[in-house]
A and B are shown apart, each in its own frame.
Chain A
């Protein structure tokens, strides 16, 4: 781990505005013309401030719906944060989630080339790593099969293999390790994960697996009641996490 910052979050907040929906066409037109729509304001979290350093293994825990995955999406810049939030990243990011970046109608070959080029690899580099990548994922016989026919384990293996071989600097791992194939592959991926990724990369791990968090993380953030609490000792974070959670939902009228 270095002192250089990989991800910087300053006063990061996220609020969703959820409108009511009706299936009736008549009701839809009526509400559009004559009624004010009822909108729910959902404050997911407020003013999260933290610097994640290069090479750091940073864990994020919280109850379902606490905003862990939303935070990763904000860091990925695939979602807008609230005004006043500042998110800075230093390096190429990839989010590892089940079904990562794959078009299920395409073959593994096409998905590898597609993901590889988007991750910043040249076609030549992908060509050079292709065999290794497929062998690692144990998909030699299914390389030209559309991945919609793959089991979830096969998909996870492919996703993990692409991520390991890609030159991303920051890994956002979202509940990924639960489904990475059979025991043999889990052992292999764990070894590769520890060897190639933990040693060199910045990792932000979202997981319900407290064991994984305690074992690997340098620091942990617990999102509770929309506030991010950062702990230098993962064990303390887990203790804090076990307390009760909640969040505030306010109903407002849309103008």
Chain B
């Protein structure tokens, strides 16, 4: 007899809802797949961000003498939000292609694939935050004054990332080269989101950029939540939340309208 190894303790914490279970299972499998054939499995999920931070530590504190005011934590908090976004949008853009084996054979709401995708990215992000917390202990950093607003900042991040992935997927079904244009765009965004310099600098010098690029506010407010002595940008926070909501509604509407056409063109 084969024993059923459910081992899904987390299910206790999910309401008894079949749709939520489905989304969770899809997300869990998606995340697990990243480390499926690796000998050390999910250990890499924590080793990778820690090693990344160690490299930043060596480069910025030893080579560039930027060890002041928790600069490594400042930098890493911005990078993990941005990298999470690029991963979510890139992988989200070919989600239906990846899951074609499901969409063509079983009838279900395809939007669940998008939700599970963003949850899977959040799982990866949580390991990055764990690494961040471990390094925080080393730097004796405590969370920022506005730590309780972090779930809302994360929600904004998730809506923007999810929506961009869905919209990019739709555009790619018409014009596949869009992914290369998007890659150039994200490279520009990397330098235009305040990852290497304070958000206040962008807000003061290039305020239009702070409103055009939601990641200026998202990254600035992430730091206000995770690092001490960082201002929370309330105006940007509400602006970004509204931006994310509009983007999300647009993306979901277009997804429901054109997702079948997308699958047909795969």
- Report the separation of the CA atoms of residues A94 and B4 in the bound assembly, to the nearest whole angstrom: 24
How distant is the Cα of A95 from the Cα of B18 in the complex, in angstroms?
A: 21
| A175 beta carbon closer than 8 Å to chain B | no
- Is B253's beta carbon under 8 Å from chain A? no
Bin chain A's interface residue count: 35 or more
Whether A134 pairs with B104 at a CB distance below 8 angstroms is: no
Are the C-beta atoms of B107 and A77 separated by less than 8 Å?
Answer: yes
CB <8 Å contact, A130 and B4: yes
| A114 touching B29 in the complex, CB below 8 Å, given contacts A99-B101, A122-B18 | yes
CB pair B25–A117 under 8 Å, yes or no, is yes
> Does more than half of chain A's interface fall in helix, strand or loop, or is it mixed?
mixed
Contact between B26 and A123, CB atoms less than 8 A apart: no
On whether A131 and B1 interact (CB within 8 A), knowing A94-B107, A105-B33, the answer reads: yes
User: Does chain A have a CB within 8 A of B66?
Assistant: no
- Whole-angstrom distance between the alpha carbons of A76 and B102 in the complex? 11
Could you say which of B18, B25, B36 contacts A114, with CB atoms under 8 Å apart? Answer: B25
Determine how close the nearest CB of chain A comes to the CB of B136; give it in whole angstroms.
34
B188 within 8 A of A: no
Tell whether, in the assembled complex, residue B106 and residue A101 are in contact, meaning their CB atoms are under 8 Å apart.
yes
Is B5 in the interface zone, CB < 8 Å from A? yes
Given contacts A77-B107, A80-B261, A93-B107, contact A118 B101 (CB under 8 A): no
Q: Which of A121-174 contact B (CB under 8 A)?
A: 121-123, 127-128, 130-131, 134-135, 140, 143, 146
Contact B260 A77 (CB under 8 A): yes
Is B2 a contact partner of A130 (Cβ separation < 8 A)? yes
User: Is B263 a contact of A79 with CB atoms below 8 Å?
Assistant: yes
Question: Would you call A127 and B32 a contact (CB within 8 A)?
Answer: no
Asked if A127 contacts B104 (CB within 8 A), the reply is no
* B102 contacts A101, C-beta separation under 8 Å: yes
CA–CA, A80 and B1, complex, Å: 44
Closest 10 CB pairs of A and B: A130-B4, A117-B22, A101-B105, A93-B107, A95-B105, A80-B260, A117-B25, A127-B4, A78-B104, A127-B6
8 CB < 8 A contacts A-B: A76-B105, A78-B263, A101-B102, A106-B33, A115-B102, A122-B21, A123-B6, A123-B8
